[in-house]
Amino acid sequence: MNTVEIGMDEMLRRVARFKDLRPSRKAFVDSLIPGHEREIFNVIGRGVTEDTSLSPAITDARDFNLTLVHAEAGKGAALHAHPTVEVFMALSGRWSVYWGDRGEHEIVLEQWDTISMPPGVMRGFRNAGTADGYLMAILGGTDAGHVTWAPQVLEQAKDTGLILDAEGNMVTGGRK
């Protein structure tokens, strides 16, 4: 393999400083459903974010996307699936990762524990600790596709005023 030389300016475009990251509280259609409020930080790649205004800190996402999730105790993402592998690592606190069409299975991750969810499996997660926590999510693929939400999640989201357009991007227009 031939090596590549790059300069400081190019390398600095590949650095994401946490203090400079700007999270979204409305990155997904479930974001306003009680119990699913959270902050999403797109670090590398856009991932599967449904908020078209949320830009990643590092845009060169080759073969994976990296996101940080910050949530208060008891809050997290509703049931959803991805067409790619999704890896979760608990960075702080305890996180429940649940799966199945009704979320009937569950594993609790302690700090630094990691789980790899296969493509197509309905899954969700929530902060199972007693304080705010951070979870790292890595999605496979340069283009991670769009989220497939459990039908009941889309119905609940309509009540908050959020729906998805034909391309899978979030828009307002629900029943709120």
- The domain made up of 21-172 is a member of CATH 2.60.120.10: yes
Over residues 129-157, the pLDDT tens digits come to 999 999 999 999 888 888 999 999 999 99
Rounded mean pLDDT, 85-104? 97
Over residues 69-81, the pLDDT tens digits come to 999 999 999 999 9
| Interstrand relation of 39-44 and 64-71 (parallel, antiparallel or unpaired) | antiparallel
How high is the pLDDT of residue 31? 95
**Contact between residue 161 and residue 32 where contact means Cβ atoms under 8 Å apart:** yes
How high is the pLDDT of residue 176? 65
Locate the domains of the chain by residue range: 21-172
The two three-digit tokens of residue 56, written as one number? 């990643």
Rounded mean pLDDT, 43-68? 92
The two three-digit tokens of residue 110, written as one number? 């302690």
Q: Which helix (H) or strand (E) holds 12?
A: helix 8-12
Q: pTM of the entire structure?
A: 0.93
